[in-house]
Structure 1
Amino acid sequence: MSIIYALVVRDPDIVLCEFSRAQGNFPQITRNIISKLPRSGKFSYTYNEKFCYHYISEDNILFICLSDAEFPRRICFLFLEDIKSNFMNRYGHVVNTVIAFGVNSEFSDVLKTRINYFNTDPNADKLQSIRSSVDEVRNIMIENIDKVLARGEKVELLVKKSEIMSEQAVTMKKRAVQVRRKMRFQNIKLYIICGVVFVFVLLLLVMSVCSPDFSEC
């Protein structure tokens, strides 16, 4: 599948330049149908079910190409827009006075080069290029989302760990308070016991000096 033939025509049927990448009677067939093509706009015309003419008509200039019927129309029209821009930039100021095949020696090489480009270079298909860019962006977005979700899971784990540590800290604080209270209570008991022992020893000392009934004091 490819673009086979291309030409530039000035009304009514003056061929200014053409190029064919295959042997055949394409030029004769094209000349026979030029007068039947509607003017002003973009059109496609199926010929013999195997081929398709595509053309752009602007003012009195037709930019025409012939392709296999299954070749994408969008690429054909991208090719024609490219040829139109290139041709008018070069010859727009003299296009109405150029004789038949007057620029063929120069511009047929351009037709050949651009046909080869649009037939073989994947970058020529802008729609496919856009789709590839969209797919690339989509893959990047999916990858980023996966990373965000992964970070989210990690954050969730950290939050859970923080909650557990917070609960453990509260429990430890309660236990510390209980331990302090227990130690304080044990200290009080120890002080009371020591006080009682001190009073008892003191009493024994006094009784030993003053007699048990304190008659000698």
Structure 2
Amino acid sequence: MVRSTTIFRVHDALPLAASVDDENTEKALTEYKQQSKLVFRRLNANSEPACSIESGQYTLHYLIVDKVIYMCICDANYPRKLAFSYLDELSKEFQTSYGDKIETVNRPYAFMGFDTFISKTTRLYRDSRTLQGSGTAPGPSSQLDQLNENLKDVTRIMTKNMEDLLWRGDSLDRMSHLSTSLRSESAKYRKAARNINLQALIRKWAPIGGLGLFFILFIWYRFF
């Protein structure tokens, strides 16, 4: 399930709004929230617009829309497609409500009134079984149908490890990810090219090799 939500501004990582978490949740997630702040201070215009960051029993998902970061901390087994659908819902409502004020505020949590919408949406996304259509929990079928229609294909969203990001110099930079993809594609191309060249050599020399083998066998049979 979705455990906690925070909304940041990209260029200075200023928190704009957040869920109001109970004492137990706040205590359990203190370390993860601190990690998220370290990560978001590194984000910029070249960062991946969406990413999942694994950290122990929880996964941090973020979505960047119009220079705003929407982040939620979920149980590690919570479906990614639901997490990003949840963040997408928040981004649309937040932009509608505060889009023209985002760049004007200087104090943290200037839009804490948005917690009402966060709480309502979190409750809607609480039971992943219901949202995926199992029918094991109550809820209006029209809402569930709409959510299922809005679920995104997240197979291309990058997944990172928190330890790699914080301590091993891994990057959330979009160009770094693109460079890695290009290197992978280049390696595949080189391998395919080698296979094509090998097949061409076989086609070129196989007849000559066959004739040579036939000649050797003929000589051996004829004289030995």
TM-score by length of 1: 0.52
User: Where does residue 61 of structure 2 map in the other structure?
Assistant: 54
SS of residue paired to 1:33: helix
User: Where does residue 14 of structure 1 map in the other structure?
Assistant: 14
Equivalent of 1:41, from 41, 49, 64?
49
Q: Is the alpha carbon distance of 1:55 and 1:126 closer, same or farther for their aligned partners in structure 2, counting shifts above 3 Å?
A: farther
The residue type equivalent to 1:43 in the other structure is C
- Are the equivalent residues in 2 in contact too, given 1:9–1:63 (CA < 8 A)? yes
Shift of 1:18: 0.8
SS of residue paired to 2:114: helix
The residue type equivalent to 1:18 in the other structure is A
User: Where does residue 68 of structure 1 map in the other structure?
Assistant: 75
Higher relative helix content: 1
Where does structure 2 lack aligned partners over 5 or more consecutive residues?
A: 136-143, 149-224
* Distance across 2 between alignment mates of 1:61 and 1:126: 31
Quick check: which has more Rg, 1 or 2?
1
The residue type equivalent to 1:23 in the other structure is E
* Distance across 2 between alignment mates of 1:77 and 1:23: 22
Aligned-pair identity in percent equals 16
* Distance across 2 between alignment mates of 1:46 and 1:80: 17
SS of residue paired to 2:116: helix
CA-to-partner distance for each residue in 1:141-171, whole Å, 9 max, x for gaps? xxxxxxxxxxxxxxxxxxxxxxxxxxxxxxx
SS of residue paired to 1:93: coil
1:27 aligns to 2:33 (yes or no): yes
SS of residue paired to 2:84: helix
Q: Is the alpha carbon distance of 1:95 and 1:126 closer, same or farther for their aligned partners in structure 2, counting shifts above 3 Å?
A: farther
* Distance across 2 between alignment mates of 1:35 and 1:81: 22
SS of residue paired to 2:36: helix
Where does structure 1 lack aligned partners over 5 or more consecutive residues?
A: 134-217
* Distance across 2 between alignment mates of 1:125 and 1:84: 21
User: Where does residue 151 of structure 1 map in the other structure?
Assistant: none
The residue type equivalent to 1:39 in the other structure is S
Equivalent of 2:91, from 84, 91, 103?
84
Shift of 1:13: 1.1
- Are the equivalent residues in 2 in contact too, given 1:10–1:62 (CA < 8 A)? yes
- Are the equivalent residues in 2 in contact too, given 1:51–1:69 (CA < 8 A)? yes
* Distance across 1 between alignment mates of 2:86 and 2:134: 13
Matches within 5 A, 1:133-148: none
Shift of 1:112: 1.6
User: Where does residue 185 of structure 2 map in the other structure?
Assistant: none
Aligned residues: 128
- Are the equivalent residues in 1 in contact too, given 2:79–2:128 (CA < 8 A)? no
1:97 aligns to 2:104 (yes or no): yes
Matches within 5 A, 1:64-213: 64-99=71-106, 100-104=108-112, 106-120=113-127, 124-125=131-132
SS of residue paired to 1:119: coil
* Distance across 2 between alignment mates of 1:57 and 1:119: 22
The residue type equivalent to 2:68 in the other structure is I
- Are the equivalent residues in 2 in contact too, given 1:39–1:58 (CA < 8 A)? no
Alignment RMSD (CA, Å): 2.6
TM-score by length of 2: 0.51
